[in-house]
Structure 1
Amino acid sequence: MNFPEPHYVGTNGIKMAVFEQGPKGGVPVVMCHGFPELAYSWRHQLPAIAGAGFRAIAPDMRGYGNTGGPKGKDAVPLYDIAHLTDDLAGMLDALGLDKAIFAGHDWGGVVVWQMALRHPDRVSGVIGVNTPFMPRGPMDPIAAMRMAFGEDMYIVFFQKFGVAEAIFEKDVARSMRFWYRKSAMKLADYDKLPADQKNLSFTKSFDTDESTWPGQQLLNAEELAYYTKLFEKSGFEGGINWYRNFTRNWEISEGQVEKVTAPSLMISAADDIVLRPELTIGMEQYVPDLEKHVIADCGHWTQSEKPEELNAIMVDWLKRRFG
């Protein structure tokens, strides 16, 4: 695949790797990845968005890939939502852009919805891919997850500094093969499983023989090599630090007005067991100008699993609202 080379901009104390396609004068669309991903996760979307006349921009986010970020236990707070959104505002400054449409998948989705709250003057529109707008909960989210799922639930497990990253860095190619798999079952079938099989303890599955892992491998050899090379370069610490800020993000968002005024598009995947389509129910209360779609027969990795369907929905909405 002919993926562009990055250029680098200084923003918010980091040097951010930015990948671009499309006309410089086009309406900018910034695509933000999640865990354990890269700008490369949007490799099928960049040319489609650019081909529709938009300026397609995808950064390696803080802690990831060619961008990297601060290391060490003391650096954990430097991965909170204030830093992640300020990174993007600074990236726009460096690119000479007043505003952009922000699209985000997985953790990137959390960031783009928060971008619309924290920097509303920089956001023309929002596209959530799998990740809905999630209002602030009544209690510390890590405490809530611990109560609901126990210590082995992957987000709770990730709170122990240095532990999960050491596991994944031992064999990065194997880690990538573990994460990037097509959904092995329909959401309805997952819901029928006994409770002890639904605690999202992915790291326990990681220890099992690879031949027992559910679902088909999603990446071809070239894609696997790209991810492996960049995660060998950056490690997993930065990306996992995003999870270590759930509590801090909850604390610093107290009193924040939860209203997204920008036009918004929500694209769910029918079989994403973590970011389930029904999580979008009631979003209109917080995101009044909202259009919703669900991609059938699709698990968590929507950009790679159903690229044509995702591209078609994104391009259609972008042309209608910003063309």
Structure 2
Amino acid sequence: MFLQVPIFRSFLVTQSPAVHYVETRHLHIAYEQHGPANGEPIILLHGFPYSPRGYDEVAPALAAQGYRVIVPYLRGYGLTRFKHPDTPRSGQQAALAQDLLDLMDALALPQAALCGYDWGGRAACIVAALWPQRVSCLVTGDGYNLQNIPGSIRPLDPETEHRLWYQYYFHTPRGVEGLTDNRRALCELLWRLWSPTWMRNAERYPLSAPAFENADFVEVVIHSYRHRFMYAPGDPALEWIEDALAKQPTIGVPTISLCGADDGVGPAPEHDEDLEHFTGLYERRVLAGVGHNIPEEAPEATIKALLDLLRG
């Protein structure tokens, strides 16, 4: 049975906050910051095809509670830029996790609370699994987000394969051209398909769409969806991380998994199939009437999950 989590009122940002920058080994990472600089840090991570706008109702509410809230643009999005032309425009899961670690190091954060969904949830889950000392707690969209790449050769059930049509599209030259020429229309279609019962797609999508005009967006996205099926090689410097992830390591940090009951990519199953991957404090909350864009569709549930973990 899917339950609607009781939550409290948050508030909406009507204007984007100032963008800050930090330099890591490979990136100039653009990020937004809310709250006091000496507050306990929380990092909020968006997915594909989304942006920091997904946290417009989450970040200021957490900042009002005294937390330092950091919302970066992932590689290939917004004003985040690669420093060198010869750096691989990788979208593989190890690259996203390494970017998160590099961001924390550049900001001198020995530990932070992490919250993410889709690509951002994958980065957060990987850091929690492989570097648990860096993570005070984790809120993950749709549970255990580590890709089982060696297992990707096995076909899934037809219903699931049907929902992954866009990934197979991106495996083809036609898909590359389609994403290049029609990125706004294609990504808007994904928003509607993945959040089919949300009434604010048309209102909110134009706020995130400019982030997809990054010059590296297409290359990073295409590599992400090819690498996960072993159709593209990864960055050799990150191979050791991928080797560790192939073992599907467990996550032991305190975790709440938020799952959308109406998620058009992967609807929450009745049985929690990810339970075995979490060895510490863990809870799954299935959100009625919510699709894939969890923090934007259910900001109050996202805030509550973080505060429940942070306050013990």
TM-score of Structure 1 vs Structure 2, range by shorter chain: 0.7 to 0.9
Q: CA deviation at 1:313?
A: 3.4
Q: Within 2, Cα distance between the matches of 1:136 and 1:227?
A: 25
Judge which range, 247-256 or 227-236, deviates more: 247-256
Q: Which runs of 5+ in 2 are unaligned?
A: 1-13
Q: 1:172 to 1:101 in 2, by over 3 A?
A: same
Q: 1:279 to 1:109 in 2, by over 3 A?
A: farther
In the alignment, what sits opposite 2:17? 4
AA of the residue aligned to 1:46:
A
Q: 1:103 to 1:144 in 2, by over 3 A?
A: same
Per chain length, whose mean CA-contact separation is higher, i.e. which structure has more relative contact order (CA < 8 Å, sep 6+)?
Answer: 2
Q: 1:136 to 1:173 in 2, by over 3 A?
A: closer
Q: Within 2, Cα distance between the matches of 1:265 and 1:89?
A: 21
Q: CA deviation at 1:271?
A: 1.0
CA contact (8 A) 1:146 1:153 kept: no
AA of the residue aligned to 1:283:
D
Q: 1:7 to 1:296 in 2, by over 3 A?
A: same
Q: 1:279 to 1:94 in 2, by over 3 A?
A: farther
Q: CA deviation at 1:314?
A: 3.1
CA contact (8 A) 1:218 1:304 kept: no
Q: Within 1, Cα distance between the matches of 2:37 and 2:271?
A: 34
In the alignment, what sits opposite 2:4? none
AA of the residue aligned to 1:18:
Y
In the alignment, what sits opposite 1:30? 43
Runs of 4+ in structure 1 off by over 6 angstroms are 70-74
Q: Does 1:99 align with 2:111?
A: yes
Q: 1:82 to 1:109 in 2, by over 3 A?
A: same
AA of the residue aligned to 2:296:
S
Q: Within 1, Cα distance between the matches of 2:146 and 2:163?
A: 24
Between Structure 1 and Structure 2, how many residues are aligned? 286
AA of the residue aligned to 1:53:
G
SS in 2 for 1:274: coil
AA of the residue aligned to 2:179:
F
Q: CA deviation at 1:294?
A: 1.5
Q: Within 1, Cα distance between the matches of 2:84 and 2:25?
A: 16
In the alignment, what sits opposite 1:313? 305
Q: CA deviation at 1:142?
A: 5.0
In the alignment, what sits opposite 2:212? 231
Q: Within 2, Cα distance between the matches of 1:135 and 1:84?
A: 11
Q: Within 1, Cα distance between the matches of 2:272 and 2:210?
A: 39
AA of the residue aligned to 1:265:
I
Q: CA deviation at 1:304?
A: 2.2
CA contact (8 A) 1:70 1:238 kept: no
RMSD of the alignment, in Å?
Answer: 3.2
Q: Does 1:21 align with 2:34?
A: yes
CA contact (8 A) 2:137 2:309 kept: no
For residues 1-323 of structure 1, what are the structure 2 equivalents within 5 Å?
A: 1-69=14-82, 75=88, 78-129=90-141, 131-134=142-145, 137=148, 139-141=150-152, 143-144=154-155, 149=161, 153-160=165-172, 163-181=174-192, 183-184=195-196, 218-220=201-203, 223-234=204-215, 235-246=217-228, 247=230, 252-253=243-244, 256=247, 258-278=249-269, 281-288=272-279, 289-315=281-307, 317-321=308-312
Q: 1:217 to 1:319 in 2, by over 3 A?
A: closer
Q: CA deviation at 1:168?
A: 3.1
CA contact (8 A) 1:158 1:244 kept: yes
SS in 2 for 1:144: coil
Q: For residues 115-165 of structure 1, what are the alpha-carbon distances to aligned partners after superposition, in whole Å with 9 as ceiling and x for unaligned?
A: 112222211111112x211566494415535987379822222223x5434
CA contact (8 A) 2:143 2:274 kept: yes
SS in 2 for 1:2: coil
